[in-house]
Amino acid sequence: MTMRRSSLLARFAENILWIGRYIERAENLARVLHINETYSRDQTDGPDWKRVLEIYADLEPFSKTYSTPDAASVLNYYILDRNNSSSLVESVRAARENARSVRHLISTEMWTHLNIFHGKLKRLTQRDIQLPDLSRLASSVILDCQTFEGITDGTFARGEPWCFYEIGKYLERGDQITRVLDVGFHRMSQETPDAVASVQWNVLLRSVSAYYAFRNRYPAGSQSDDIATFLLYDTEFPRSVALCVQRMTTRLRDLQMRHGLEHSVNLEKARRGLEFSLETGPGTGLDPQKLHVFLDQIQISLGHVGDAVRETYFTHS
């Protein structure tokens, strides 16, 4: 039986999903760059830029063009490099190109802001990404991403396009949080003085805008396991993996109601596999290696959901 597809599903749904993914990617990257520099200012050796490459598993592609992971090369790679599809400039350009294809489906306000945002980044030069200017630049990018998200929330009709936008956003957000958590725990695998460890955990929490929410949940202090549990399972924190999965599930079910459950068997299987992986958990006696295996499985499961969405809704008959 051939799946019933609206004109949206046949032509434009994938564009809308990727708008959500690219804007979320840009915001998270800007936050990680900002926090990495801010919380390393007092260190003798300065910020550890290799850490950012590790978060995004970019050591190999980075090394094909750059020799040393210093500030200048890493900032160029993640901000201006047009050969890096995940750089800030390329992410926002790609979001805009996808938005151009669905101009008739998104709000005028969304399109206008994305054009302005793209224009700002397009004008950036090497002088604009020097280390002393990074805080200002990253804060500006984060604000523009959040402004776009606010405009989208307030002007985008809650139909099929909205469902795909939300699915893309939460797929990307869930993946990003697992990467930051994985690298944060790996860095703590060696014996680290308590004072240093405390600073590093604060860096991790702030890099995903979780610091105050976490402190409200754990006002009397915390252990590393508490941080992992919070970022994975707290359904009141908008960037936790559990909340991302919950929101994706809601939007996927909205689509299923429109198009029939019987036509999305593989997607439902992938979604349940993701839920099962998350519910199974990393087990007790948490250590960096055990957490790494668990987070790797979550990333794979998120990828399976993304693949199943594409096969179910984006593959043309």
Question: What pLDDT digit, counting tens, does each position of 110-152 carry?
Answer: 999 999 999 999 999 999 999 999 999 999 999 999 999 999 9
**Region of poorest pLDDT, from 29-43, 80-94, 115-129, 234-248:** 29-43
Q: Can you give the pTM of this predicted structure?
A: 0.91
Could you give the count of Cα atoms lying within 13 Å of 253 in the half-sphere of its Cβ? 7
| CA–CA distance, 205 with 184 (Å, rounded to integer) | 10
The rounded percent of the chain whose pLDDT value lies above 70 is: 89
Q: What is the pLDDT of residue 1?
A: 32
Give the tens place of pLDDT for each residue, 263-302.
678 999 999 999 999 999 987 777 888 899 999 999 999 9
pLDDT in tens, 223-240: 788 999 999 999 999 999
pLDDT at 2: 38
> Which residue is listed with tokens 């490099």?
81
267 half-sphere exposure, CB direction, 13 A CA radius: 22
Percent of the chain with pLDDT over 90: 69
pLDDT exceeds cutoff 50 at 3: no
Mean pLDDT rounded to a whole number for the chain: 89
More confident residue, 204 or 136: 136
Average pLDDT value for residue range 190-201: 68
Q: Which residues contact 245 (CB under 8 A, 6 or more apart)?
A: 170, 174, 274, 275, 278
**Distance between CA atoms of residues 262 and 272, nearest Å:** 15
Q: What is the 3-state secondary structure (H, E, C) of 240-299?
A: CHHHHHHHHHHHHHHHHHHHCHHHCHHHHHHHHHHHHHHHHCCCCCCCHHHHHHHHHHHH
Query: What are the sequence ranges of the domains in the chain?
Result: 1-156, 157-317
Q: What is the pLDDT of residue 183?
A: 80
Does residue 244 have a pLDDT over 80?
Answer: yes
Burial class, 158, CB count within 10 angstroms (exposed 0-12 / middle 13-18 / buried 19+): exposed
pLDDT at residue 7 tops 60: no
More confident residue, 167 or 292: 167
177 φ, ψ (degrees, to nearest 5): -65, -35
* 289: Cα separation from own chain's centroid: 22
Would you report the helix, strand and coil content of the chain in percent, each value rounded to 5?
75, 0, 25
In this predicted structure, the answer to whether residue 4 has a pLDDT above a threshold of 50 is no
How much is the pLDDT for 196? 67
